Amino acid sequence: MVSTHSIMATALACLAFSVAPVTATTYSMVKQYYGSTFFDEWTFYNNYDNLTNGDVVYVSAQNATTDQLAYVDTSTNHAIIKVDNTSTVVWNNKRNSVRISSDDSFGVGSLWVADIYHAPYGCSVWPAWWSQAAVWPQGGEIDTFEGINTNTQNQMSLHTETGCTAVSQNQTSTLVASTNCSYAANEDQGCIVTDPSTGSYGAGFASSGGGAFVTEMASTGINIWFFARSAIPSSLSSNESSIDTSAFGTPVANWPSTGCNITEFFQPQNLIFDITLCGDWADGATWNSTCSGICYNNWVMGNGTDYDNAYFEVGYVRVFSTEGTNTVVSPTTTGSGSSSTTSGSSTQSSSSAGLPHGGYWMSATLLVVVGLFSALFTLA
């Protein structure tokens, strides 16, 4: 006769296995933007820069393709996103540029990687690789890569509603300019961390072949890593479908949840590339210390040769979800891990994605447990 203790032990073991938590630092790839289809699932802003008062017009997808401002270089399979450097701009006109936002957004429990070989730089140039929620500032903003003019160091920051602050940061950078992330404080400068490496932005970044930026938006905090081209971890360079952040070391920037409740201040993020010119920051207080002349008159106007370096060259963008979940939110779904089909992602719900046969496996396990408990009480 099978003992009741044996049945109880087996039942509890099955139950424990079925609800075991996933490892927080292990992520599985759910989305990839790469090669000839890189631009297929991005929205082009198609308006003048009414966001940061820059002297550009963000063109439509059709115009970006026609004018070769957004295209895939067939010799490298890299995506190019650039400022118009061939047209002559006359007084009171703006120069054409590109701003794209991913159609899908990605919730807490996501990690995204951008492999960037070249990033825009030069006087009047203000590029960014960043993310924000559909509703700002309620859903938060993460600036992974941003700089202006002839700066040589990347600036990273968060922008949120009031109540999010940077405390007890575990990071390699000691350059913390501000700790209040609220958009309502300090003219919305956010909580800023600057990368100490002069190879993280500008001419130094470009001359060394760029590198990879990793952004992790976890419930325990937000982390950013930058790896120069020669130091990119093998899990990223070899295109592995699963990565573990414990192999990345200490991030260059860290905002722990102890000072900012991530699930409260951050909603699913759309990923964004943009390049503006002049505007609130590049033509701001630091202009005269980095560049000469008048930003618009002496740089934006004219034949455009000053913008030969004003382009992104992107090898890929990959998005990962915490192992066993799906944090992709498509434009047709209403929440993270929806059962709706999303391109490049699992169609399973977040409670079952990544498990053998998804929800069917979970249901079968629970049936076994119920059956074992029934047997237990029958024998008793």
**Residues labelled as active-site residues:** 141, 146
CA-to-CA distance for 138 and 64, rounded, in angstroms? 31
E strand residue ranges, 83-160: 95-97, 99-106, 110-118, 125-133, 141-146, 155-159
Q: Which residue has the tokens 């008062």?
A: 53
Q: Compute the chain's Rg from CA coordinates.
A: 24
What distances in angstroms separate CA 240 from CA 28, 72, 148, 246, 276, one per listed residue? 9, 23, 33, 15, 34
Q: Return the closest-CA partner of residue 72 out of 48, 37, 98.
A: 37
Do residues 313 and 79 make contact, with C-beta atoms less than 8 angstroms apart? yes
The helix (run of H) or strand (run of E) holding residue 371 is helix 359-379
Q: Which residue has the tokens 């070899």?
A: 238
Q: Which residues pair with 254 in a beta bridge?
A: 223
Q: Which residues pair with 128 in a beta bridge?
A: 146, 274
The CB-side HSE value for 95 (13 A sphere, CA atoms) comes to 33
CA-to-CA distance for 126 and 148, rounded, in angstroms? 5
CA-to-CA distance for 248 and 320, rounded, in angstroms? 15
Contacts of 328-337 with C-beta under 8 Å, sequence gap 24+, read 328/30, 328/31, 328/104, 328/105, 328/106, 329/104, 329/105, 329/106, 329/107, 329/268, 330/103, 330/104, 331/103, 331/104, 336/107, 336/108, 336/109, 336/268, 337/107
DSSP symbols for 107-125: -TTEEEEEEEEE---STTE
Alpha helices in 180-327 (DSSP H): 202-207, 234-237, 262-265, 279-282, 287-290, 295
CA-to-CA distance for 246 and 26, rounded, in angstroms? 8
Q: Return the closest-CA partner of residue 309 out of 200, 153, 150.
A: 150
